[in-house]
Amino acid sequence: MALSMALAAPAQAEDIIVTGKSLKQTEADLKACLERKCPPDEDIKATLAHAENLFVSGDYKNSRATLKDSLGRNRKHGEAFPVPVSDLLRANGRISEQMGEAKDFQLSVLDMRDTLKKGFGENDFRTLVAQIEVGDSRAKLGFSKDAERIYKDVEERALAAGQPRVASFSRLRQALYWRGQYDQTPNAYNLKNVQDRLDELIQRPLPESSDFALAAEVIKAKVDRKAGDAGSTDALIKRFAERGGASRPILLYAEPIPRIDLDKDLPEGQPGLNTLNRLTALQGRNQWADVGFWIDANGHVTDIEALRTFGDKSWLKPVLANIAKRIYAPLKKDGGTAPGFYMIERYTLTARFEEITTGTRLRQREATPRIERIDLTPENYEAPSSKEAG
């Protein structure tokens, strides 16, 4: 999930199953911890639990404020507690990303990497994986060449340091990067680069990296399907079925969510969408939805519904349609009964704050909105019975 694995219900929702501590309890736990001047690692653990509950309840602002307050108390303890402090920074980055705070997202990921580097050295597997996260953040923010350079550098360093799994992870990220470039401009990008890197992972996997070979097969199937060839996807489905099915959800195919069209999203009577109107419309956006759906024994998505929403819901239509087109691996059967996994995902409609000079002290968001997603699936995969709160 976003920060940990708890799932808490918002005060306004009805009949939502709570699989972790309640929002009231995590607030009390954090308060008690601070009152007794608990050690930094305990402070951070309580912070993460409460910040996550705030986020799930839709209180993004106080979730981020809780993380910021904890960073103010604990950032200086990074040398003694590198893993907890890096977890705190990672969480702050993820919440900032959801809120369109691109600069804070970028800096939090860099600080997370640096904290692990100081604590364990630059060639420790935790530091190298964190550097891959830095690459991911660069790609997310639109600096694709930086991301590619970082992935290649991590692969070389991991191989030199005897970290084959990290090297395989970095190779996989490079394949994903190239696939993303191909998705954006299929006629202008060399598909052979994608296929060669995927074939390398599949046919010549590094030691301890068989799971990355499977991931590469899944990506290759997606590339083939993008090019109009469903054969490799069908072959993967058949292989999972012959092996008795998967024991957890494995996504084999999903299309990108289409860009949101603000012309269709604004209320009737809204003035024409010139730049000023677009920016004004986005300043107050805080729209989110928790979407639940079943994955049946055949890997098909069924019973898609918006469990909880905040704000206008018209932007959700392409999201729900996108989820319905997903293809998952067939699932294992238990005692002859077809199983199913219940998934819950949080979608947030946001727009990043622009780093521009506007002539005022007011920050402004980008004119084009984006949809961010975080998995909220509880560990027991139990489906909640809920009424939509909007």
Task: Give the confidence band of 359 by pLDDT, cuts at 50, 70, 90.
Answer: low
Instruction: Give residue 151's pLDDT.
Output: 96
CATH class belonging to 18-120: mainly alpha
Instruction: Give residue 129's pLDDT.
Output: 96
Percent of the chain with pLDDT over 90: 50
The distance of Cα 316 from the centroid of its chain, to the nearest Å, equals 18
Task: Give the confidence band of 195 by pLDDT, cuts at 50, 70, 90.
Answer: confident
Predicted confidence (pLDDT) per residue in 109-152, tens digit? 999 999 999 999 999 999 999 999 999 999 999 898 899 999 99
Chain position carrying tokens 């972790």: 20
* Structural domain boundaries in the chain: 18-120, 241-390
Asked if the model's pLDDT at residue 334 lies above 80, the reply is no
Q: Which amino acid is at 348?
A: T
| Separation CA 364–CA 369 (nearest Å) | 12
Asked if the model's pLDDT at residue 160 lies above 90, the reply is yes
Predicted confidence (pLDDT) per residue in 206-236, tens digit? 999 988 998 899 888 887 887 788 888 899 9
User: SS3 letters for 285-325?
Assistant: CCEEEEEEEEECCCCCEEEEEEEEEECCCHHHHHHHHHHHC
281 with 262: CB under 8 angstroms? yes
Asked if the model's pLDDT at residue 41 lies above 80, the reply is yes
Reported pTM: 0.82
Instruction: Give residue 388's pLDDT.
Output: 37
Instruction: Give residue 288's pLDDT.
Output: 94
